[in-house]
Structure 1
């Protein structure tokens, strides 16, 4: 997974304290924390990724 083209998600915080990276895996999307890339990553299919983004945008995952 380290050879993937990871990029900062468009909604990541520019101050560097809330950075999510995504990688296009074809039919799936990789998601990881840019501050701790060694912690691992999630792989989500397109529907699961869209549902996650929708919940984030709706504030359903705010802590």
Structure 2
């Protein structure tokens, strides 16, 4: 499987990231998949999930204390 060309991808910083908290996440829409990465180290790579799996991940994370 070929890696997608991310040079034209529009990455957005999460609205929950900010300040000096150190937890900065960026997301991008990659042809029907949602990708996310560390905004402080974008060259380290990203994780891309289907929209359904991304929604399930968010639901699981927000359900935790």
For this structure pair, what is the TM-score category when the shorter chain's length is used for normalisation?
Answer: 0.7 to 0.9
How many pairs were matched up? 59
Q: Is residue 2:48 matched to residue 1:48?
A: no
- Return 5+ residue gaps in structure 2 as ranges: 1-5
Whole-Å separation in 2 of the counterparts to 1:9 and 1:43: 15
- Return 5+ residue gaps in structure 1 as ranges: none
What residue is the counterpart of 1:2 in the other structure?
Answer: 7
TM-score normalised to structure 1 length: 0.80
Query: Which of the numbers 19, 22, 41 marks the counterpart of 1:15?
Result: 19
Whole-Å separation in 2 of the counterparts to 1:2 and 1:15: 26
Whole-Å separation in 2 of the counterparts to 1:53 and 1:11: 13
Query: Over alpha carbons, which structure has the higher Rg?
Result: 2
**Which of structure 1's runs of 4+ aligned residues deviate more than 2 A?**
none
TM-score normalised to structure 2 length: 0.78
